[in-house]
Chain A
Amino acid sequence: MNTEQVLKQAENLLGTWNKETSHPDPTRLDAVVDTNDLHASVQAVHEAGWGYLTAITGSDLGLVDGRMEILYHFCSGPAVLTLRVRQSRDVQVVVPSIADVIPPASFFERELQEMLGIHVEGLNNSDRLFISDDWPEGVYPMRADFTLEQAAPVSVSHAAPLPEEGVVSGNTFVVPIGPQHPALKEPGHFEFTVDGEIVTAARMRLGYAHRGIEKAAEKRNWNQNLYLFERVCGICSHTHAMAYSMGVEKLAQVEVPLRAQAIRELVAGLERVHSHLLWLGVAAHEAGFDTLFMYSWRDRETVMNLLEQITGNRVNYSANVLGGVKCEIGPEQSRSVKEGLTYLEGRIRHYLDVVTTDVMFLNRTRGIGTISFDEAVRFGLLGPTARASGLVRDVRVEAPYGAYLRYPVSAVTETNGDLEARFVVRLKELLVSCFTMRTIVDNLPEGPLSVRVPRKIPVGETISRMEAPRGELFYYIRSSGGETPARIHVRTPSLCNWVSVLEKAVGRQLADVPMLIAGMDPCFSCNDRMVTVSRSGGSQTWSWEQLRQHGIEYYKR
């Protein structure tokens, strides 16, 4: 079936619920539905097995327009279906929860609640999402009339225990992990209730790295935002910048030169290699296999050298500009890329050998955290985590964009769905990437590196999907014709993959938990949203102030 037919199918599914249809571009179907019909239409789409829910975008259209919009994006291959619900912003906006049909939607719905003050009916969780504990009630940062003054912190007692501190209540023992913890390289917080060694419940809270980038983007011009979005995440910075610039270019109706597209894909490939090798090291470290950690980071320096040689920087390389790229691949660069790739391919094969034959390591990975194909679909997993369970979720393959049309990649899948499979998938994927990069370097099209993009971007909205090292990255960009964007919404892959950890930790030994977390390759900076922790009181003989004072005195020396 081609994209047109797939979209037609969606249109038929919606039937009379669909009040207004439009096709913003040939791969998209935009349907306005009534709030009352929303649940039924989502159910119809879901039950017919039409694609998967990829994101929910809420946006405040402003005081003049006087409405709020909630967009439900579904993807099936290259086709994107958007269900659009509109309500007046002057009264409390209420939408029904669809988490009973699609469980992972609860993450997105809680974001709506937190950021825009939209009441999601049926979502019985009003805990803080990713806004800090000292955020005042009833203030919503993504509303059009939000000002910084409104967000003055409510006072929190410096002496009070933090919600993260461990508690013993009754017979259960809760092991708190994070925000500062040796097993985490980034701030997150997990609470595992244990019975002996076995985890009986798992919860997490993120939001430590939530900076408020989406709001800040509305104050900066299109060009400045490129560098801001690059810093959503320092590991996959190129993918973020690329998703953003491809979206803006689509809005501005600018055609990026072929050479620039190819260089973008090349840098994205190098980024995937650096990201996966980094992950391999960290994951091995969690398993106590520090030798592998050190080796993979040593080899990663080869990629870092290449990135530096091509772009001038090791991290946050800013290879993109709006309308193209700013770095050229000359004969010298292509020679070093090829040399580097040859070396890396050898090493990656070696690592593939290690993770599938080392008995000690296999004890930590084989048969652990197994996610079946059906579960992967139900959890809405993305990227290598999904592919390890045999679910092909790879935008490069499903909906090729940019240079992936000319230099296609094949999806790598495994069927076991355990931790071992996730190692194997990522490493095999690197071999595929290396092969593609070699092809690109050998067949670079001639031409300019960039074209001009106007300072003001025409009115419109667009969706930009891209395969980041961790899975599908989703950008929603709306312009109102000015020098700054009207709304940018980012949905990062880690957000969709958390469920796999929380569900799979229960019933496992506590010692497996760091491996499970590492197995999905989480990126806290990217996703910072969360599931909150509730605190139950425990008895303490000392008051907190006393304990704290004691601690400070004790360590004074």
Chain B
Amino acid sequence: MATNVFDMCPASWKQVISEVRTWARLNSIWAVHFNSGSCNGCDIETLATLTPRYDVERFGIKLQGSPRHADVLLVTGPVTRQARERLVRTYEQMPEPKFVISIGSCSISGGVFEGCYNVGGSVDEVVPVDVYIPGCPPRPEAIINGIIQLLTHVKEGTRPVAKRPEQTAEVASSQQERVVA
């Protein structure tokens, strides 16, 4: 519905509308947190990022209860078998454009839990990831850095090219193609 109205607009309007959107988006990133079986270390550091010392709310970032209201999915943990399907569904419920930040070594590669029988391996095998924040757990400063990287890309209207050490150029380029809607 809204799409049609937008499509009918003249090009100059579209330009203005897009700019307004980007501006709004940049200043009000709402995040939803999903724990896919982490040890809690990353979760408490994520929470610490939101509280007075580090206070990412000054960038307009807010933790949101429902995935339906969120722009960014913060995933921690190595994706246990029981959490896998729930993670997919949480992701699907988020409105576009949506971004995923994978926090902590174990969400990137399984980390210390690699090879455990109930652990899938990594978040990017389940949902596409935009920013990786390594560390066990990453410091709040690192988390802020990851968020800022994401914001920079939102500003430019591109997807961040997420890099994992072992990631092939192919995957990276396919990720770049997914331009922000």
Contact = CB atoms under 8 A, between A and B. Distances in A.
B172 interface: no
Interface in B130-145: 136-137, 139
A396 interface: no
The CB with the most chain A CB atoms within 10 A, among B43, B44, B117, B119, is that of B117
B107 interface: no
Interface stretch (A30-38, A131-139, A435-443): A131-139
A133 B81 CA distance: 8
A301 B113 CA distance: 28
A234 B113 contact: no
A187 interface: yes
Interface in A12-64: none
Contacts of B29: none
A278 B43 CA distance: 12
Contacts of A135: 81
A141 B117 contact: yes
Interface in A397-415: none
B82 A132 contact: yes
Contact of B48 (A153, A187, A301): A301
Interface in A216-233: 216, 219, 227-228, 231-233
B116 A235 contact: no
A237 interface: yes
Interface string B26-40: 000000111111111
A151 interface: yes
Given A233-B40, A551-B93, A179 B118 contact: no
Contact of A557 (B3, B48, B64, B68): B3
Nearest to A134: B81
Contacts, number: 161
A557 B51 contact: no
A532 to B, nearest CB: 12
A294 interface: yes
Interface stretch (A207-215, A332-340, A502-510): A207-215
B77 interface: yes
Nearest to B117: A212
A108 B2 CA distance: 55
Interface string B1-16: 0110000000000000
A218 to B, nearest CB: 11
B35 A209 contact: yes
B139 A314 contact: yes
B81 A186 contact: no
A156 interface: yes
A170 interface: no
Contact of B82 (A207, A215, A233, A295): A207
A39 to B, nearest CB: 32
Given A131-B118, A148-B117, A525-B39, A555 B48 contact: no
A297 B86 contact: no
B113 A208 contact: no
Interface string A258-293: 000000000000000000001001000000000001
B113 A216 contact: yes
Given A158-B85, A211-B80, A212-B116, A234 B137 contact: yes
A298 interface: yes
Interface residues of B, number: 54
Contacts of B137: 234, 314-316
A523 interface: yes
Interface in A130-169: 131-135, 141, 146, 148, 151, 153, 156, 158, 162, 164
Contacts of A134: 81
A452 interface: no
B112 interface: yes
Contact of B38 (A133, A209, A213, A298): A209
Interface of A: 131-135, 141, 146, 148, 151, 153, 156, 158, 162, 164, 179-182, 185-187, 207-213, 215-216, 219, 227-228, 231-235, 237, 278, 281, 293-295, 297-298, 300-301, 304, 314-316, 523-525, 548, 551-552, 555-557
Which 7 A-B residue pairs are closest in the complex by CB-CB distance? A234-B41, A182-B65, A132-B81, A297-B51, A132-B82, A234-B40, A212-B116
Given A304-B48, A555-B95, A556-B95, 13 more contacts: A133-B82, A185-B35, A208-B83, A211-B116, A215-B117, A232-B39, A234-B38, A235-B41, A281-B51, A314-B137, A315-B41, A525-B37, A552-B92
28 contacts: A131-B118, A132-B82, A153-B81, A158-B85, A186-B35, A187-B34, A187-B35, A187-B83, A209-B80, A210-B37, A210-B80, A211-B116, A212-B116, A213-B113, A215-B116, A227-B112, A231-B41, A231-B113, A234-B39, A278-B44, A297-B51, A300-B48, A315-B45, A524-B35, A525-B37, A548-B92, A551-B92, A557-B3
